[in-house]
Chain A
Amino acid sequence: MTTLVMQHPPQTAATRLQDATRVAAVALLLGIPMIGLTTVDQGGALQVASRWPLLGAFVAAAFFGRLLLRYALDQRQHRRQTRPHAAAGASSALLRRIGWGALLIALLLPVFFSDNRYVVDTATTVLIYVMLGWGLNVVVGLAGLLDLGYVAFYAVGAYTYALLSTQFGWGFWQALPVAGAIAATFGVILGWPTLRLRGDYLAIVTLGFGEIIRIILVNWSELSGGPNGITSIPRPSFFGLPFKPAGDEATFAAFFGLEYSPSQRIIFLYYLILVLALLTNLFVSRLRQLPIGRAWEAMREDEIACKALGMNVTNVKLSAFALGAMLGGFAGVFFAARQGFISPESFTFNESAIILAIVVLGGMGSQLGVVLASLVLVLLPELGRDFAEYRMLLFGAAMILIMIWKPGGILAHREPTLRHQPPVAAGASQ
């Protein structure tokens, strides 16, 4: 209803009254059977009773409520029209400053909250989603391929590390590239059959792919431990120095002459994901400025034009799937190493939906937007804990509000990958 209302131009008091009267009439019509008349149990038989005062109040509420709503909306629209069109696209210099500011805060966060495990843990979770968002941004934001099964690659990365470390004793850093490569292979496996699909159709296939991976993990107990998952996954060590209370072997605390504290590992994990996420960002930002990245964006804009220009769209698509999957796999390795325990529970469709929401909410293709959206999507449910069962309701409402306020995402501004700097005297030549 509000969308209908908002399309009207601002109106005078008379038309507003007229409009409210119409709405009140509709309310009256609906109200007679729903509120005005009711049944009461009188000695075993149902009698129809009337509640006219209540109906009157209902209609009056509809009338004045409508009047007020109209007035508020008109005021808002008026303000919008008169306000100069400032801040149409936040300038790129400002965005860069925000980015550096966010990086500084991220770097210093554990220093200020070194004894607050909850804050560092939550920040680590935010960073995992930032990294996943940056990875999915390649597929959805740049290449424009709607992927609803991204969590599958996250799962592949996590299980690869879990199996390599528990079965073969591989370390975190050894397993990382292998897990990335395996996830990328899965990306290509998903990419091949879906080459000809776009939009909704692609979304459904990727959704199915995500579920296939999860169901395989649930049912192939010999490999994945089934629903029980894989436990006691080794934690990453600091260049071979484990985070343990001092013992026989060299530990991180002993090596640096520190008092052992469990928060050392938490902080190390935080910096580890920060470094991984920053490398991801650097990688993706750079790729975007390379032919491959421009090809992804061009394919998002018009696939047929790409073909007509001699671009092998198959390769472009597969590379987007593979690289996006690889980054998801890296994040999965970190996730497994951080949790020490993984099970198919962690890789449900819900996760895919949240990662996709981060990319869309952040503004497709925008790197900083992903950070802001991850903050919103991870912190809102955390902050909402006080609201108990209304938590998810609040979360959903916030998402809807953001999409109404900024339909293109928080940062919809697209920065060109290269610019033409005209030599000083260049003007219109012809």
Chain B
Amino acid sequence: MSAVEHATPLLSVDRLTMRFGGLLAIDDLSLDVGARQITGVIGPNGAGKTTFFNCLTGFYKPTVGSVRLQHPQHGTLRLEQLASHQVARRAQVVRTFQNIRLFPKMTVLENLIVAQHNTLQSASRFSLAGLFALPSYRRAERQAIDKAVDCLRRLGLLEHANSAAGALPYGMQRRIEIARALCVDPLLLCLDEPAAGLNPRESGELNALLKHLAHAQGIAILLIEHDMSVVMNVSDHICVLNYGRKIAEGTPQAIQRDPNVIKAYLGEEEADELSSGEKAP
């Protein structure tokens, strides 16, 4: 269906189902995410988008189905079988949260250093090399700081490096969360509504950033977003969920014309009235 169907996608979700008691949150969802691509996941509230993310990143164990990731070093990894921290550590699939989850009392720089915990922790050799500040540890710490500073500079956050993260404005906190996720060296970055609460200028900057990350840096991005100006602009591929089911999939242009999608978003009657008025530039 889509123009860019890769031979082996980076991530392939196969017949994923998540059931909470009687509630079917995700129903038989299959989806491929290509490398170097931005894949948008949209749908009305309660469609199961965040649940889908929680299944991918190990916070929920899906009832049925599999999530396979083609890792350049570790081969095929079954994400649904990994513990949540292993999803980030081993599979390098990193997520952000709909309601920002920074470490509010720590500084922005510290937030980004915590993201490099595993590298630094092994450099500190059970904290012993760290306790005595051995050169090997000091070097690793220096590198971690450089990496964090570099990341902050790219996202225009450097001047706030020493401020407490929780004290900064909302839009900035969103960017810090992305910066922090980037410090884990993600193969796949899962962003849960990164544009929520951003003003038009900020979401414009976000668009540019996402495109840069995917196309220049080769980080695949899975994007949940309600802001259509972001989704339609940046996504290479869009998947639409409604009541846990995939109702459409394709390029942004195709999605905008899809009658099922219009129906899901606008309801039956309005969709008929507006049948062709929905086409965005």
Residues of A bordering B, CB below 8 Å: 283, 286-287, 290-292, 294-295, 297-298, 301-302, 304-313, 414, 416-420, 422, 426-430
Assuming the A-B contacts A290-B130, A295-B114, are A311 and B85 also in contact, with contact meaning beta carbons closer than 8 angstroms in the complex? yes
- Assess the A287–B127 pair: CB atoms within 8 A: yes
Q: List the A side residues contacting B59 at CB < 8 Å.
A: 304, 307
Q: List the B side residues contacting A290 at CB < 8 Å.
A: 124, 127, 130-131
- Assess the A313–B109 pair: CB atoms within 8 A: no
Q: What sequence of 0s and 1s flags, for each residue 92-130 of chain B, a beta carbon within 8 Å of any chain A beta carbon?
A: 001111000111111101110111011011001001001
| Number of A-B residue pairs at CB separation under 8 A | 129
Which secondary structure dominates where chain B touches chain A? helix
Report B176-203 residues with CB < 8 Å from chain A CB: 180-181, 184
Report B69-95 residues with CB < 8 Å from chain A CB: 84-89, 94-95
- Assess the B94–A419 pair: CB atoms within 8 A: no
- B26 CB within 8 Å of chain A: no
Residues of B bordering A, CB below 8 Å: 57-59, 84-89, 94-97, 101-107, 109-111, 113-115, 117-118, 120-121, 124, 127, 130-131, 141, 145, 149, 152-153, 156, 158-159, 161-162, 164, 180-181, 184
- Assess the B130–A297 pair: CB atoms within 8 A: no
- Assess the B153–A429 pair: CB atoms within 8 A: yes
- Assess the B158–A429 pair: CB atoms within 8 A: yes
Extra contacts besides A304-B101, A308-B57 (19): CB < 8 Å: A286-B130, A287-B127, A290-B124, A290-B127, A294-B117, A297-B106, A302-B103, A302-B104, A305-B101, A306-B114, A307-B84, A308-B95, A308-B96, A308-B97, A310-B86, A310-B118, A310-B184, A419-B109, A419-B161
Q: List the A side residues contacting B57 at CB < 8 Å.
A: 308
B88 partner, pick from A295, A308, A414, A417, beta carbons under 8 A? A308
Write the nearest CB–CB distance from A272 to chain B, whole angstroms.
Answer: 22
Assuming the A-B contacts A286-B131, A419-B109, A420-B145, are A298 and B118 also in contact, with contact meaning beta carbons closer than 8 angstroms in the complex? no
- Assess the B106–A301 pair: CB atoms within 8 A: yes
Q: List the B side residues contacting A291 at CB < 8 Å.
A: 113, 117, 120-121, 124, 127, 130
Q: List the B side residues contacting A286 at CB < 8 Å.
A: 130-131
Assuming the A-B contacts A294-B113, A305-B102, A308-B95, are A420 and B120 also in contact, with contact meaning beta carbons closer than 8 angstroms in the complex? no
Instruction: Select from chain A the residue with minimum beta-carbon distance to B180.
Output: A309
Cα–Cα, bound, A287→B118 (Å): 16
Cα–Cα, bound, A306→B114 (Å): 8
Cα–Cα, bound, A310→B117 (Å): 8
Q: List the B side residues contacting A304 at CB < 8 Å.
A: 59, 97, 101
Q: List the B side residues contacting A427 at CB < 8 Å.
A: 159
Q: List the B side residues contacting A418 at CB < 8 Å.
A: 109-110, 113, 141, 145
Instruction: Select from chain B the residue with minimum beta-carbon distance to A311.
Output: B117
Q: List the A side residues contacting B127 at CB < 8 Å.
A: 287, 290-292
Q: List 11 A-B contacts (CB under 8 A).
A: A286-B131, A291-B124, A297-B105, A297-B106, A298-B114, A302-B103, A308-B96, A310-B86, A310-B87, A419-B107, A429-B156
Write the nearest CB–CB distance from A300 to chain B, whole angstroms.
Answer: 8
Closest 8 CB pairs of A and B: A310-B88, A310-B89, A301-B103, A420-B161, A305-B101, A291-B120, A290-B130, A291-B121
Write the nearest CB–CB distance from B22 to chain A, whole angstroms.
Answer: 25
Q: List the A side residues contacting B162 at CB < 8 Å.
A: 416, 419-420
Q: List the A side residues contacting B115 at CB < 8 Å.
A: 309
Write the nearest CB–CB distance from A142 to chain B, whole angstroms.
Answer: 11
- Looking at A308, A416, A419, A428, the one whose CB has the most chain B CB atoms below 10 A away is A308
Instruction: Select from chain A the residue with minimum beta-carbon distance to B190.
Output: A308
Q: List the B side residues contacting A307 at CB < 8 Å.
A: 58-59, 84-85, 88
Cα–Cα, bound, A312→B118 (Å): 9
- Looking at A306, A309, A414, the one whose CB has the most chain B CB atoms below 10 A away is A309
Q: List the A side residues contacting B181 at CB < 8 Å.
A: 309
Q: List the A side residues contacting B120 at CB < 8 Å.
A: 291
- Assess the B161–A309 pair: CB atoms within 8 A: no
Write the nearest CB–CB distance from B17 to chain A, whole angstroms.
Answer: 23
Q: List the A side residues contacting B110 at CB < 8 Å.
A: 294, 297, 416-418
Cα–Cα, bound, A311→B180 (Å): 13
Cα–Cα, bound, A295→B119 (Å): 12
- Assess the B156–A292 pair: CB atoms within 8 A: no
A420 partner, pick from B97, B109, B184, beta carbons under 8 A? B109
Cα–Cα, bound, A302→B130 (Å): 24
Cα–Cα, bound, A417→B127 (Å): 15
Q: List the B side residues contacting A313 at CB < 8 Å.
A: 85
Cα–Cα, bound, A168→B103 (Å): 49
Write the nearest CB–CB distance from B25 to chain A, whole angstroms.
Answer: 18
Cα–Cα, bound, A126→B102 (Å): 37
Q: List the B side residues contacting A414 at CB < 8 Å.
A: 105, 164
Q: List the B side residues contacting A306 at CB < 8 Å.
A: 85, 114
- Looking at A291, A302, A426, the one whose CB has the most chain B CB atoms below 10 A away is A291
Q: List the A side residues contacting B84 at CB < 8 Å.
A: 307-308
Q: List the A side residues contacting B113 at CB < 8 Å.
A: 291, 294, 418
Write the nearest CB–CB distance from B245 to chain A, whole angstroms.
Answer: 26
A428 partner, pick from B89, B117, B124, B156, beta carbons under 8 A? B156
B118 partner, pick from A305, A311, A419, A422, beta carbons under 8 A? A311
- Assess the A301–B109 pair: CB atoms within 8 A: no
